[in-house]
């Protein structure tokens, strides 16, 4: 027992009294102090002992030196040091890096390898290290980031914050996907940190406003190579305040900066607000009131018509149930000859409605992924299109179709008012007559009548040729064309409109276009779909717009006033059809109708999911 106790005392004595420089790892063949007898010009014993490698010893790295006599005679010399033997994780990061590819080794950066000290987070050391090779970093040192680092601000970005320490990936050419993504991704790491930004007096909405822009949305969708990133406007290293005359975002330099992507840029064009916050009335009053007005419009329209839809859904369900009971009990008598076919729409009306469906669904399918760019389903859809360029091309084709049917409706309206011979009266009488889609005093009466019917206070109104909700849908096309069409044209041809309109008009156009499009899609896929297809008496679909046909029973029940007017004038037989449309025609168009309805409802569900996810 005393023998082992004595051995322990001896070991402890060695640990306390043997110099640290003499300690080496168990597998070290030669103690460092022996090596430094000859290599004292490289490093002193104490400096090596105090370094991070001191506890290891020389031959932990120079493993080839196993025989001191052979080494002294020059017969056994060490080869290149393989740092990966110990630093396996770092080596794995370094191996595919740009430094490795260009044969820049560990010691090229860690030049003080024999006196290497533990890493302390002083970013000034990183800058000092990188400028040894990258002379262009003198540009960085004059930038906002460089000046902040030199002043001792550890929040400011240095080379390693963007490029990494050991895993510095090659970026490829300036237009490559990796390069374009890098130029935005690295900026988001710090600028999305609101606490850090507030601590340094930097705007906290840079990231959120970028993601609201066309550029940011495409970045989120996975196509950073198709749009401008942070470095495209602010540069990569020479980031300067906007009031600095050398800054790329200084008002005197914006034409040059924007011209990198946009041709024919004018000083007016550069008045665009790249980081405008529509929730900030102090700095962006025009955008704030535009945004607020659009939100009030959306809330008002949906509140009124969704309430209208819910009341109708419940009242229609009750009426259908009562009608079935009455039919069973023999109290309901079907209309004699109720299955006789009448023509409600001409082929030109059907064709125009098909154009409306195709263009509207095309616009929704390509526009909604951009609006909800943060959603996974939006990225899947954009990948399916092959990117924003293809999606934008389809979107513009559908916009062109929209202008075609809009112009056609205007021509048809002029023909109705001034040319048609089968309608009596002057243009003013025609405008407010029963065959017109222009609202008149009768519509107020119908609205009140429907309200009373909803509340079980009166019978369901008997309508003329057009109901008040059909007139609203028709007039919405005109409002939508001025709002969506006008703003869409500005965004479609920015260089042209930017030559005579201030750039902030594009911010206004973006708000109007996106919110009006949201109103249109939400209204069509909920209110319009219910009014035409989802109400209990028509569910699951009303095919009148696809074949133009309506039965006598539907005619009398839904548009009794029009039936009686035509009957009094002896014109009923003029709208009668001898036989229904052909089966193949019906099959094709009804199939198309169900496809369109299914597509719309699917988009509605994805929109609802996006709203719920964003507010969760």
pLDDT of residue 17: 39
pLDDT of residue 447: 97
Sign of the dihedral defined by the CA atoms of residues 294, 297, 301, 304, in that order? positive
Is the domain of 417 the same as that of 475? yes
608 preceded by a cis bond (ω within 30 of 0) = no
Is the domain of 134 the same as that of 256? no
pLDDT of residue 136: 66
If one counts the domains in the chain, the total is 4
Is the domain of 22 the same as that of 40? yes
pLDDT of residue 204: 92
3-state secondary structure of 316: helix
- E strand or H helix at 340: none
Give me the residues of the chain with pLDDT under 50, please: 1-28
Encoded tokens for 527: 């209110």
pLDDT of residue 180: 86
Residue 550: strand pairing partners? 342
pLDDT tens string 463-509: 999 999 999 999 988 888 899 999 999 999 999 999 999 999 999 99
Tell me if 595 is assigned to some domain.
no
Is the domain of 365 the same as that of 443? yes
The CA dihedral of 495, 500, 504, 505, to the nearest 10 degrees, is -90
Is the domain of 397 the same as that of 486? yes
Contact 408, 359 (CB under 8 A): no
pLDDT of residue 29: 53
Say which residue the tokens 């400011």 belong to: 156
Give residues with Cβ within 8 angstroms of 607, minimum separation 6. Answer: 368, 372, 521, 522, 525
Closest to 463 (Cα-Cα) out of 449, 476, 453: 449
Is the domain of 245 the same as that of 309? no
Is the domain of 295 the same as that of 383? yes
pLDDT of residue 391: 97
Nearest-Å Rg of the Cα atoms of the chain is 38
Give the phi and the psi of residue 551 in degrees, each rounded to 5.
Answer: -80, 165
**Nearest 5 degrees, angle CA 441-CA 531-CA 352?**
85
Encoded tokens for 31: 């103690």
Question: Which residue range forms the structural domain that includes residue 24?
Answer: 2-79
Is the domain of 126 the same as that of 19? no
Look at the pTM and tell me if it is higher than 0.95: no
Closest to 612 (Cα-Cα) out of 422, 375, 419: 375
Which CATH number covers residue 465? 1.20.950.20
Encoded tokens for 45: 């014993």
């Amino acid at each position: 027992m005393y023998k082992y106790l004595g051995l322990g005392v001896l070991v402890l004595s060695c640990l306390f009294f043997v110099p640290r420089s003499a300690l080496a790892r168990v597998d070290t063949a030669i103690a460092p102090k022996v090596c430094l007898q000859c290599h004292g010009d490289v490093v002193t014993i104490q400096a090596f002992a105090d370094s991070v490698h001191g506890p290891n010893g020389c031959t932990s790295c120079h493993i080839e030196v196993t025989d001191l006599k052979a080494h002294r005679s020059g017969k056994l010399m060490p080869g290149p040091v393989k740092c990966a033997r110990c630093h396996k994780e770092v080596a794995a990061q370094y191996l595919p890096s740009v430094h490795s590819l260009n044969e820049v080794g560990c010691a090229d950066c860690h030049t003080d390898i024999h006196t290497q000290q533990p890493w302390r987070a002083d970013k000034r050391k990183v800058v000092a290290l990188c400028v040894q090779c990258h002379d262009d970093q003198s540009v960085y040192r004059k930038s906002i980031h460089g000046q902040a680092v030199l002043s001792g601000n550890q929040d400011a970005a240095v080379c390693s914050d963007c490029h990494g320490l050991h895993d510095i990936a090659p970026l490829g050419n300036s237009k490559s996907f990796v390069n374009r993504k890098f130029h935005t991704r690295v900026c988001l790491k710090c600028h999305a940190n609101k606490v850090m930004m507030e601590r340094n007096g930097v705007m906290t909405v840079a990231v959120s406003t970028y993601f609201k822009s066309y550029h940011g949305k495409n970045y989120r969708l996975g196509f950073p190579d198709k749009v401008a990133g942070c470095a495209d406007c602010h540069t990569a290293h020479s980031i300067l305040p906007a009031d600095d005359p050398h800054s790329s975002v200084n008002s005197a330099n914006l034409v040059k900066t924007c011209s990198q992507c946009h041709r024919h840029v004018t000083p007016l064009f550069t008045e665009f607000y790249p980081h405008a916050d529509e929730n900030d009335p102090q700095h962006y009053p025009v955008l704030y009131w535009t945004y607020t007005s659009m939100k009030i419009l959306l809330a008002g329209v949906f509140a009124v018509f969704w309430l209208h839809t819910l009341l109708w859904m419940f009242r229609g369900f009750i009426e259908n149930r009562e009608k079935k009971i009455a039919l069973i009990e023999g109290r309901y008598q079907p209309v004699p000859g109720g299955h006789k076919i009448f023509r409600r729409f001409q082929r030109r009306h059907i064709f125009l409605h098909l154009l409306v469906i195709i263009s509207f669904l095309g616009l929704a399918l390509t526009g909604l992924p951009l609006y909800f760019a943060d959603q996974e389903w939006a990225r899947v859809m954009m990948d399916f299109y092959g990117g924003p360029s293809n999606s934008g091309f389809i979107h513009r084709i559908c916009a062109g179709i929209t202008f075609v049917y809009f112009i056609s409706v205007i021509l048809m309206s002029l023909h109705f008012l001034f040319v048609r011979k089968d309608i009596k009266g002057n243009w003013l009488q025609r405008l407010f007559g029963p065959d017109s889609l222009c609202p008149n005093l009768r519509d107020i009466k119908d609205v009140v009548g429907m309200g009373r019917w909803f509340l079980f206070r009166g019978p369901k109104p008997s309508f003329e040729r057009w109901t008040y909700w059909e007139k609203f849908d028709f007039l919405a096309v005109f409002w939508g064309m001025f709002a969506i069409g006008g703003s869409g044209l500005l965004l479609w041809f920015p260089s042209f409109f930017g030559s005579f309109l201030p750039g902030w008009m594009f911010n206004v156009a973006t708000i109007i276009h996106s919110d009006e499009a949201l109103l249109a899609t939400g209204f069509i896929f909920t209110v319009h779909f219910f009014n035409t297809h989802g109400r209990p008496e028509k569910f699951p679909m009303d095919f009148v717009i696809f074949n133009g046909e309506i039965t006598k029973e539907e005619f009398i029940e839904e548009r009794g006033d029009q039936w009686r007017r035509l009957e009094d004038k002896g014109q009923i037989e003029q709208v009668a059809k001898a036989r229904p449309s052909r089966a193949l025609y019906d099959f094709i168009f009804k199939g198309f109708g169900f496809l369109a309805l299914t597509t719309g409802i699917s988009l509605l569900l994805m929109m609802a999911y996006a709203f719920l996810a964003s507010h969760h």
